[in-house]
Chain A
């Protein structure tokens, strides 16, 4: 619902709305749909992860609950809800309650400005030019929750707030392992935020805008991944660190640290952290799709007009598959090497990428 609030605030405050009640209703419906879709996606990503892990390990994943294991996430959810909510005695009660909710909230919030299709004029004749969509007599339907001109910055802002959830979760648990995991995780997140920011400056320079929808429109001739291969690699690598996924998952490494910052959270509290991690994965892959893989655009010779969301989901799904594939292939990076990699490799490479792209854009 917070996403609906964001869209209402920005729409109502920043632009004169078409009509406030209609905006409100559309925002609410979109909010519900997005939350529902992301929740389902996160749940089934857990199943997908287990199946992929199984196939890589020459076994079959869960296939007993429901046809082919399709109800396994439901069973997991029910189990988590029914678990005893054991919690350490000396915990900070307020923050312990809030932290998982904050994590899940920030993860959901971040998806608000990602468009999965181009703006469509509903009922009424619209000019459907790429940079200005006008809709006389109809309603301009944006396919993201909030179409703000600083879309990309908004996402960076919300993900930087997500760091608090992890840190407070670990600190409020009153446990050594949790605190260590939380510290490592937060430090890793804020370091790789820099790498992410540098990596996405490339597409921003090429597109000339921070609005995600415009950015996809700018990729109509050629997807940015072909112009920015290094940028894509940098972003994708930093994305692994941003979502605490292997090979950068020492903060929550099962063998090393108990379970890091979410050690002491039981039942659905842990479920929310887990949920937040998978939604972060979805968000990060969606951003990569929008910035580098052309969003809802089809490969050239297909008709993209009504198939947009499907292309988007397919591309993001492919990136998610790669994320899981990588997880079950590579060993974990030791924490100090992780930090070194972020600051001494990704950051300089990102800077070099920016310089080269800037020269290219200036000279073009």
Chain B
């Protein structure tokens, strides 16, 4: 329903603005959490329930919790107010606009609308009818382990590298 889409999108945009504009760093992080929750609602409107749940569990519920931890522990000072005509504000604004254009172009190009009004991506063998037939989680799981096996393994390797790096960097150094 477009009402729900409108609400969720509005919250997402306001929260995103809040991330940039908020005076205290912790409020910035919390605004980002609100943004992610709004995105999860948007995923719901697109029938991607699993993705919505995982978005909240992983992003809003784990990654952002650690962000909030670090901010609260290290307590960086409050941000100075940004004057609207400062150089970095202008450059940042331009970059945001450019990014929006690029993303819009990519999504609009890559997405087709079937006669029934549903969207699907360009990647071929996957089709929404699979979701209706088998269920979301099952379809996602199947695709991950068959069509997209290589990217899946590579991303898990990437995560492993990150974890190993973190452990290595935080090891206790012997007194020399």
A touches B in complex, CB < 8 A? yes
Q: A154-B53, A167-B72, A183-B73 are in contact. Are A14 and B61 (CB under 8 A)?
A: no
- B61 engages A163 (CB within 8 Å): yes
- B49 engages A149 (CB within 8 Å): yes
Query: What's the nearest-Cβ distance from chain A to residue B159, in Å?
Result: 14
- Distance in angstroms between the alpha carbons of A225 and B161 in the assembled complex: 37
Query: What's the nearest-Cβ distance from chain B to residue A57, in Å?
Result: 38
- A14 engages B72 (CB within 8 Å): no
- A150 engages B69 (CB within 8 Å): no
- B69 engages A156 (CB within 8 Å): no
- A14 engages B47 (CB within 8 Å): yes
- A150 engages B137 (CB within 8 Å): yes
- B73 engages A210 (CB within 8 Å): no
- Distance in angstroms between the alpha carbons of A67 and B151 in the assembled complex: 65
* CB closest chain-A residue, reference B33: A164
- A163 engages B41 (CB within 8 Å): no
A161 interfacial contact with B, CB 8 Å: yes
- B1 engages A186 (CB within 8 Å): no
- B135 engages A149 (CB within 8 Å): yes
- Distance in angstroms between the alpha carbons of A158 and B40 in the assembled complex: 12
Question: Which among A9, A158, A160, A179 is the interface contact of B44 at CB below 8 angstroms?
Answer: A9
Q: A150-B137, A156-B53 are in contact. Are A190 and B41 (CB under 8 A)?
A: no
B45 interfacial contact with A, CB 8 Å: yes
* CB closest chain-B residue, reference A157: B56
Question: Which among B4, B60, B62, B69 is the interface contact of A167 at CB below 8 angstroms?
Answer: B69
Give the residues in chain B near A158, CB-CB below 8 Å.
56
A223 interfacial contact with B, CB 8 Å: no
* CB closest chain-A residue, reference B57: A157
Query: What's the nearest-Cβ distance from chain A to residue B8, in Å?
Result: 9
Query: What's the nearest-Cβ distance from chain A to residue B81, in Å?
Result: 19
* CB closest chain-A residue, reference B5: A13
* CB closest chain-B residue, reference A153: B53
How would residues 78 to 97 of chain A score, 1 for a CB under 8 Å from any chain B CB and 0 otherwise?
00000000000000100100
- A10 engages B44 (CB within 8 Å): yes
Give the residues in chain A near B60, CB-CB below 8 Å.
157, 160-161
- A190 engages B72 (CB within 8 Å): no
Query: What's the nearest-Cβ distance from chain B to residue A64, in Å?
Result: 44
Query: What's the nearest-Cβ distance from chain A to residue B171, in Å?
Result: 17
* CB closest chain-B residue, reference A158: B56
* CB closest chain-B residue, reference A151: B53
Q: A13-B44, A164-B33 are in contact. Are A153 and B65 (CB under 8 A)?
A: no
- Distance in angstroms between the alpha carbons of A167 and B61 in the assembled complex: 12
B68 interfacial contact with A, CB 8 Å: yes
A121 interfacial contact with B, CB 8 Å: no
* CB closest chain-B residue, reference A152: B53
* CB closest chain-B residue, reference A10: B44
Within 8 A of B (CB), among A9-36: 9-10, 12-14
How would residues 37 to 55 of chain B score, 1 for a CB under 8 Å from any chain A CB and 0 otherwise?
1001100110101100110
- B65 engages A167 (CB within 8 Å): yes
- Distance in angstroms between the alpha carbons of A14 and B54 in the assembled complex: 17
Give the residues in chain B near A183, CB-CB below 8 Å.
69, 73
* CB closest chain-A residue, reference B138: A208
- Distance in angstroms between the alpha carbons of A171 and B73 in the assembled complex: 9
B136 interfacial contact with A, CB 8 Å: yes
How would residues 136 to 164 of chain A score, 1 for a CB under 8 Å from any chain B CB and 0 otherwise?
00000000000011100110111011011
Specify which of B44, B49, B73 lies most central, judged by the most chain A CB atoms within 10 Å of its CB: B49
Give the residues in chain A near B1, CB-CB below 8 Å.
12-13
- B136 engages A161 (CB within 8 Å): no
- B44 engages A161 (CB within 8 Å): no
- B136 engages A149 (CB within 8 Å): yes
Query: What's the nearest-Cβ distance from chain B to residue A260, in Å?
Result: 16
- B137 engages A210 (CB within 8 Å): yes
Give the residues in chain A near B33, CB-CB below 8 Å.
164
- A171 engages B72 (CB within 8 Å): yes
* CB closest chain-A residue, reference B135: A149
- B49 engages A160 (CB within 8 Å): no
Known: A160-B56, A167-B65. 5 other contacts (CB 8 A): A10-B49, A14-B47, A156-B57, A160-B65, A193-B61
CB within 8 Å of A: which residues of B? 1, 4, 26, 30, 33, 37, 40-41, 44-45, 47, 49-50, 53-54, 56-57, 60-62, 65, 68-69, 72-73, 135-137
CB within 8 Å of B: which residues of A? 9-10, 12-14, 92, 95, 148-150, 153-154, 156-158, 160-161, 163-164, 167-168, 171, 179, 183, 186, 190, 193, 209-210
Instruction: Return 29 A-B CB contacts under 8 Å, by A number.
Output: A10-B44, A10-B49, A12-B1, A13-B1, A13-B4, A13-B45, A14-B49, A95-B26, A148-B49, A149-B136, A149-B137, A153-B50, A154-B53, A156-B53, A156-B57, A157-B40, A157-B56, A160-B65, A161-B37, A161-B60, A163-B61, A164-B30, A164-B33, A167-B72, A171-B72, A186-B65, A190-B62, A190-B65, A193-B61
List of 5 A-B pairs having minimum Cβ-Cβ separation, nearest first? A160-B61, A153-B53, A157-B56, A171-B72, A157-B57
